[in-house]
Structure 1
Amino acid sequence: METGGSLIILTGNACMTGIITPRMTDMLNLDWKALWNAAQQGSLMDKSQPDEDKWLAFWDGEAAAYLARVKAEERVYAGIVEYLRREGVFREGDRVLDIACGPGTYTLQFAPMAQEATALDISGRMLAELVKEACERRIGNIRPVQSAWSDYREPEKYDLVFTALSPAVTGPGEFLKMEAFSSRSCCYVTTGTEEQSRTRHDLWRILAGVEKGRKEFNIAYPFNLLVSMGRKPNVRFFDYRSGERMTVEQLTEYYAKFFGNFMEIDEEKRARIAAYMQSISSGGYCDSWNKKSLVALYWDVP
């Protein structure tokens, strides 16, 4: 679905696009920076809560498993990059910056056609997995940079500045910083539906007694912010099926580590996690195969 700068309002899975009408103009007059900042508050990924060192240890520990999941779903990410190539957002010989690249989810797709792909991530282990995989694929034009996006200060400009599902870009400040490093295009990929985080939502309620969503990843905030600034963003949704089979024990360990970034996980809380995973399992396994959606928002920098 492409909008070519038309207003898009998302509510759950519904979307509305079209010519901007007077009523829609009222929406554009809203303070989208303030609305997006407010959405971060009380979010599952609220940056005022997690300890950065804990997050770094978490991502380092997940690096190898993360790469395995990326390789299993590689056709999805390759399809998104190919779409961006057809649209002229990504071009042969481009210099690309991939923010919060992880183990190379998209960097490995950009690099074969790029002049150079700069892979930025806070996790040294993620970057090590990326470099190892790039060597196995005989890709030699990836430049790994270990840094938080908030600390990134290099003077280079890139043809394309890209980020996907990034915990480093969840608000207007981090989002608009992308333009400062781009000489032509930017692309922001996020989830097409909040339901993809249902297990995390449920466990947060079970462990902390409150409901926490991930509204800051709703595409309505960055899209409307760009339109209100006079940009002409485009949006494309990519639906696919994905999942994996894991044991109750494996998932209990994973979520104990994940929520350990937000709170102390004692034996009682670990038992709650295990009980929840058991409740959604069959034969000791949890199958997470379901429909998922990614949405790519891309625009030209003035």
Structure 2
Amino acid sequence: MQLNTNYFEELWLSDNQKKEPTVEFWNFRAEEYNLSSSTVDAQLNRLEKVQALIDRGIINAESTVLDIGCGSGQFAVELAKKTRKVVGLDFSDKMLSYASANAAAEGLKNTAFIHSDWDGFHYAEAFDLVIASMSPAIHKPDHLYKMMKYSRGYCYLSSFVERHSGLKEKLYRLTDQSYVRQFNKINYIFNLLWTKGVFPELTYETGIHKRVFPLAKAQEIYTRELSVLESPKQASRIHQYLEAVAENEVVTELLQQRKGELIWKQS
């Protein structure tokens, strides 16, 4: 068996069976996502990442940055404080409203947020750094190659390689579904880059992420995450279970997770 570019492209495509979240899903999640990304720990983590990019000479005060799937814009905001221009795109209009507000709150004038998915995105110039931080936008080889095309310097991509939640797995079983993890994207990208003569740096970050929701909010979120809005019976099972495990009308989910981070220089 020859492990060439086509092999890893086909492997990635054949494994890409998980349904990608919709605009409606991310619009619904926008407020919660913005809040969870605004915690002190999340802010410190972003500051460390941006400083590491500066220390390594990947960005400087004259750099331009493209943020694919920028969400509520916190990473874009931190990057904009240290670079000449940051362009962020997202297909969720509610995410972008938070991104614009977060940039305005910092008094930034060098950010632009574009309402677009990655397939439909077009821009007249390349960027010194292109990032896709935990972004579902890069979910097939063509998306990766487009990302590389827009970089005249470096690319940064991060994604889960492991994520376990006892609560989520229980909910999948209750709704007669299989919990398909499918966190192989980093492996496929790493190998694809090698076949093209690009040698990325791969690092891992482990931790525990806590999600805390009022019961009613949790019931809405998990019925959407498990795609059972159109099944009253399955939605009812989720609601009943969350009621049983809630403490003082609050549902807490602990996720053990490992993120992979790839950085590479475009040739």
Q: How far off its partner does 1:295 sit?
A: 2.1
Question: Would you say 1:224 and 2:191 are equivalent positions?
Answer: yes
Q: Structure 2: which 5+ runs fail to align?
A: none
Write the distance in 2 (CA, Å) between the matches of 1:163 and 1:106. Answer: 10
Of 212, 232, 236 in structure 2, the residue corresponding to residue 271 of structure 1 is 236
Write the distance in 1 (CA, Å) between the matches of 2:256 and 2:45. Answer: 13
2:160 maps to what in 1?
A: 191
Of 79, 84, 87 in structure 1, the residue corresponding to residue 53 of structure 2 is 84
Write the distance in 2 (CA, Å) between the matches of 1:137 and 1:238. Answer: 28
Q: Structure 1: which 5+ runs fail to align?
A: 1-24
1:298 maps to what in 2?
A: 263
Moved >4 Å (runs of 4+)? 25-30, 198-202
Q: 8 Å contact 1:76–1:240 — kept in the other structure? A: no
Q: How far off its partner does 1:90 sit?
A: 3.0
**Identical positions, percent:** 22
Write the distance in 2 (CA, Å) between the matches of 1:281 and 1:88. Answer: 48
Residue 189 of structure 1 aligns to a residue whose secondary structure is strand
Structure 2 residue identity aligned to 1:203: L
> 1:271-290, CA deviations, whole angstroms, 9 ceiling, x for partnerless residues?
11123324544444332345
Q: 8 Å contact 2:139–2:185 — kept in the other structure? A: no
Question: Would you say 1:100 and 2:69 are equivalent positions?
Answer: yes
Matched pairs, number: 265
1:192–1:90 Cα change, 3 Å: farther
Write the distance in 1 (CA, Å) between the matches of 2:243 and 2:4. Answer: 46
TM-score by length of 2: 0.88
Q: 8 Å contact 1:39–1:216 — kept in the other structure? A: no
Of 206, 209, 221 in structure 1, the residue corresponding to residue 174 of structure 2 is 206
1:92–1:220 Cα change, 3 Å: same
Bigger drift between 267-276 and 225-234 goes to: 267-276
Structure 1 residue identity aligned to 2:163: E
Within-5 A mapping of 1:28-43: 31-41=7-17, 43=18
Of 85, 91, 105 in structure 2, the residue corresponding to residue 116 of structure 1 is 85
Structure 2 residue identity aligned to 1:148: D
Write the distance in 2 (CA, Å) between the matches of 1:212 and 1:242. Answer: 19
Write the distance in 2 (CA, Å) between the matches of 1:231 and 1:139. Answer: 34
1:278–1:88 Cα change, 3 Å: farther
Write the distance in 2 (CA, Å) between the matches of 1:199 and 1:34. Answer: 33
Residue 128 of structure 1 aligns to a residue whose secondary structure is helix
Write the distance in 1 (CA, Å) between the matches of 2:259 and 2:169. Answer: 19
TM-score by length of 1: 0.79
Question: Would you say 1:252 and 2:228 are equivalent positions?
Answer: no
Write the distance in 1 (CA, Å) between the matches of 2:191 and 2:167. Answer: 29
1:157 maps to what in 2?
A: 126
Write the distance in 2 (CA, Å) between the matches of 1:218 and 1:276. Answer: 32
Of 179, 184, 188 in structure 1, the residue corresponding to residue 148 of structure 2 is 179
Structure 1 residue identity aligned to 2:234: K
